[in-house]
Amino acid sequence: MLARHRCPTPLHELRTLLLGAIASPRMEVSPMTPLARAWGGDLPEFASADEVEEVMQVIVHGLWNRLSEHQNARTPFRLPRFEVLPTRQALIELARMRAQELKGFVDGLFGTDDEMLLPQKAHEAVVALAELHAMFEGASGLLADDTKAAPDQELKGLLRNLQQMTIVADEQINKAVQSCKRSRGQRLETMATVMSRKIRSAQDDDEEEHDMAVDDDEPDFIESPLSQYVTRNGVTVRVDIYGDSDTRWILEIVDAENTSHVWDEHFETDQQALAEALRALEEEPLEFLGRNAEQPLN
């Protein structure tokens, strides 16, 4: 479908671009913004309403919603794995792909902003992803230089290194996703870091990166085992309950459009928070329907 509509962004990069937008600490995030970015800033002119519906169903209602599930710590995000032969061309393609994926995540996280307030742990993750991006790009550039020898044994070793770097990239992406999610739940109160959107190379000055961060650590949060998907009155939402460092419980409901509804009040127990979520779904279901609010409930 992407090829048919001449999308310049490959699927693997689109996937992380959307995930970055979902994870973004910005309170209002629409899938249409990163989707337009995938086409260079503006969506293409579709020939018919059926083509528009296809894109919405496949990308927005399909891919976007599936990626939203990775905000749950129990279903972490993973970069795609596949068999790679230890050849020069195969490793070039792998390294370029990983570099594109990491750039896509950061681009989605920052959107159109050049700078953004990030929680400390998300800042650390983005710095680590920038370093990994530089290493993947460096590997692809080195491999593309035909004047450099590439013995089979060295190619095998490089493949192992790229695979290990992929595991680290997974960890840092999930660290950023979870950190930003907790900060959204706190109404941005824990955000304490300014980070440039531009991907930095591994040679960036460490002192400059240190100056961009603050020393205060982000509070630790624990997720309640009562967090779950709930369906009431034909409405399905994700109920997230997590405790802060003061042993109070925060309630967040994420609807099907990935809109976050966070309660200002804190609860003494996670059971009280769940009871409030169920009450809201029973008494105010239209609050969690978004654009589908005008449709009759089943």
Domain positions in the chain are: 11-211, 222-294
Mean of pLDDT over the chain: 82
In this structure, the chain runs to a length of: 298
Percent of the chain at pLDDT exceeding 70: 82
Amino acid making up residue 175? K
* Mean pLDDT calculated for residue range 96-117: 92
For residue 120, the Cα-to-chain-centroid distance in whole angstroms is 16
Give the Cα-Cα-Cα angle 269, 272, 276 (nearest 5 degrees). 145
Are 211 and 161 within 8 A, CB to CB? no
Task: Flag whether pLDDT at 160 surpasses 70.
Answer: yes
* Mean pLDDT calculated for residue range 200-205: 48
Coil, strand or helix: which one is 57?
helix
Amino acid making up residue 176? A
> 11-211 architecture in CATH?
Up-down Bundle (1.20)
* String of DSSP letters for 1-31: -TTTTT-SS-HHHHHHHHHHHHH-S-S---T
Please, where are the H alpha helices in 111-243? 120-144, 152-185, 206-211
Token duo for residue 110: 């920052």
* Mean pLDDT calculated for residue range 111-128: 87
Q: What is the pLDDT of residue 151?
A: 92
Percent of the chain at pLDDT exceeding 90: 38
* Mean pLDDT calculated for residue range 23-41: 84
Task: Flag whether pLDDT at 69 surpasses 50.
Answer: yes
CA–CA dist 176, 34 (Å, integer): 18
Coil, strand or helix: which one is 243?
strand
Q: What is the pLDDT of residue 21?
A: 93
Q: What is the pLDDT of residue 294?
A: 44
Give the Cα-Cα-Cα angle 220, 216, 28 (nearest 5 degrees). 70
Q: How many Cα atoms occupy the beta-carbon half-sphere of 294 within 13 Å?
A: 1
In eight-state DSSP terms, residue 267 is B
* Mean pLDDT calculated for residue range 43-65: 88
* Mean pLDDT calculated for residue range 279-298: 64
With tokens 């961060």, the residue in question is: 213
Q: What is the pLDDT of residue 184?
A: 73
CB neighbour burial string for 277-287, b if at least 16 within 10 angstroms, e if fewer: beebbeeebeb
Task: Flag whether pLDDT at 208 surpasses 60.
Answer: no
* Mean pLDDT calculated for residue range 46-68: 89
Q: What is the pLDDT of residue 203?
A: 46
Task: Flag whether pLDDT at 142 surpasses 90.
Answer: yes
